[in-house]
Amino acid sequence: MSGGDLSSAREQNRRSWNAAVGAHDSHRGDLSGFLRKGGLTLFPEERELLGDLRGETVAHLQCNSGGDSLSLVSLGAEVTGVDISDEALASARRLSEEAGIPARFERADVHGWLEGGARAGRRFDAVFSSYGVVCWLPDLGAWADGLAGVLRPGGRFVLVDFHPASEVFDERWRPVRDYPRGGEGVALEEGVGDYVGGSRGGLTPAGFVPGREDFENTEPARLYRWGLGEVVTALAGAGLRITALTEYPYSNGERHFAGMRELPGRRMVPPEGVPALPLMYGVRAEARR
Ligand SMILES: C[S@@+](CC[C@H](N)C(=O)[O-])C[C@H]1O[C@@H](n2cnc3c(N)ncnc32)[C@H](O)[C@@H]1O
């Protein structure tokens, strides 16, 4: 893909996200009240990989509407949230204000932000990104180099994302696609959907509100299909040391498939009769000291 195609795909993705944020937020209940009272939107998997954040600087990449960014602040970090969507960041700033939890939010393309941050000498103790993030990255090598560039010596990058193995299946568990590979670009004509509404409470720890029920996105999007080995190899290739790689046979919050059963902690597992397979993975990678 040429540079011009890449930037137009990114701009299209920005429009698709801008269109979807209002529908997502319409389901979130009193999220600011929940956060104000000390509630956390983070799941145990990312907390365990991140470790103690007290007094640390954290860059939260692809932060969306900022619930997790503010939760990181509640755990003692000083947080900079980054996202390409204007609407997501407007929502994040509003949430920060209403919850009384301060964080800094910067609207940017993640690749450009990482490259600019590394060049400007910005350094963080930790960088975090989660749940539906790698699929928006056209260039894993540049992403991983950028991560290594903004981590202080000994700093860590933590990623929790949906497992590419689950992309082989359609909603009814039928194997319909090859395992992702090479960042193959895929047009999503229906754009970013209302996965928050579709989770029916899985992604709304402050309580589920039916909210917008008829959402249709008129802005298509473009996704990139990467395998797990490619993600980990890109991080290692950037000089980061992989200190954890965990595959989980459940998906936190989201119901990607038909008949998902909900276990305590908003953990979604396949219906009876579908064999266990990895639905999420987590990686921790450390910068050299
Ligand atoms: C599924 S959301 C991530 C979920 C998020 N961690 C949360 O807590 O809700 C993916 C995010 O990636 C952002 N995004 C997509 N492409 C991007 C890019 N090139 N640069 C920065 N952010 C991007 C979208 O705007 C969206 O907010």
Residue with tokens 């932060």: 63
The reported pLDDT for the residue numbered 7 is 85
The reported pLDDT for the residue numbered 1 is 64
**Contact assessment for residue 185 and residue 9, using Cβ atoms and an 8 Å cutoff:** yes
C-beta of 136 in contact with ligand 1 (< 6 A): yes
The reported pLDDT for the residue numbered 133 is 98
Characterize the bridge pairing of strands 57-61 and 78-83: parallel
* 64 Cα to the center of ligand 1, angstroms: 5
Give the ligand 1 atom nearest the CA of 109.
20
The reported pLDDT for the residue numbered 157 is 98
The reported pLDDT for the residue numbered 256 is 87
Rounded to 10 degrees, the C-alpha dihedral 284/157/80/15 comes to: -90
φ/ψ of 286, rounded to 5, equals -110, 145
Task: Count CA atoms within 13 Å of residue 237 on its CB side.
Answer: 13
C-beta of 158 in contact with ligand 1 (< 6 A): no
Chunked into runs of 10 residues, the chain (289 residues) has average pLDDT values of: 81 98 95 98 98 98 98 98 98 98 98 98 98 98 98 98 96 95 97 93 92 95 98 98 98 92 95 94 97
Rounded to 10 degrees, the C-alpha dihedral 94/123/138/195 comes to: -30
Task: Count CA atoms within 13 Å of residue 214 on its CB side.
Answer: 0
* 22 Cα to the center of ligand 1, angstroms: 14
Residue length of the chain: 289
Look up the pTM and report it. Answer: 0.97
* Residue having the nearest C-alpha atom to atom 13 of ligand 1: 62
* Residue having the nearest C-alpha atom to atom 26 of ligand 1: 64
* Residue having the nearest C-alpha atom to atom 1 of ligand 1: 132
The closest of 183, 163, 177 to 277, measured between CA atoms, is: 163
* Residue having the nearest C-alpha atom to atom 9 of ligand 1: 64
* 155 Cα to the center of ligand 1, angstroms: 22
* 73 Cα to the center of ligand 1, angstroms: 19
Q: What is the pLDDT of residues 117-165, one digit of tens each?
A: 999 999 999 999 999 999 999 999 999 999 999 999 999 999 999 999 9
The reported pLDDT for the residue numbered 6 is 78
Give the ligand 1 atom nearest the CA of 67.
8
